[in-house]
Amino acid sequence: MNNLELKQFVVDKIEDLKARDVVVLDVSEQSNICDFMVICSGTSKTHVKAIAENLVVEAKNADMQPLGVEGRESSEWVLVDLGDVVLHVMQDQTRDFYQLEKLWSEQ
């Protein structure tokens, strides 16, 4: 799966669980870690965790092993690293505080 297909796979899987305010950032010129960051919000800790877990399960079903998953315990901000695409699932207050979209779009 190329990076564009992987990006669409991630967006499709998070939209399956009604992720809100989905933003896709092309960071290929700014980062050597990944090509795309997908940022979305969940309505609660349970929703944030469910969105991230769904992506992990679906990735494994598609024979893609996530490189890492961080933040499951608190579920304020869960990161799922799939290599070329990194997903950030956040609660609204955490997303407002860190403003990743602004940080990465200003570089």
For residue 34, give the 3-state DSSP assignment.
coil
Paired tokens of 5: 């297909």
The per-residue pLDDT for range 18-74, each reduced to its tens digit, is 999 999 999 998 888 999 999 999 999 999 999 999 999 999 999 999 999 999 999
Radius of gyration of the chain (CA): 13
- Which domain range does residue 59 map to? 3-105
- Considering all CA atoms of the chain, what is the largest pairwise distance in Å, rounded to the nearest integer? 36
Total-model pTM = 0.94
Torsion angle, alpha carbons of 44, 47, 49, 51, to 10? -140
Residue 16 DSSP SS3? helix
Q: In total, how many domains does the chain have?
A: 1
The H or E element containing residue 44 is: none
For residue 30, what is the domain's CATH number?
Answer: 3.30.460.10
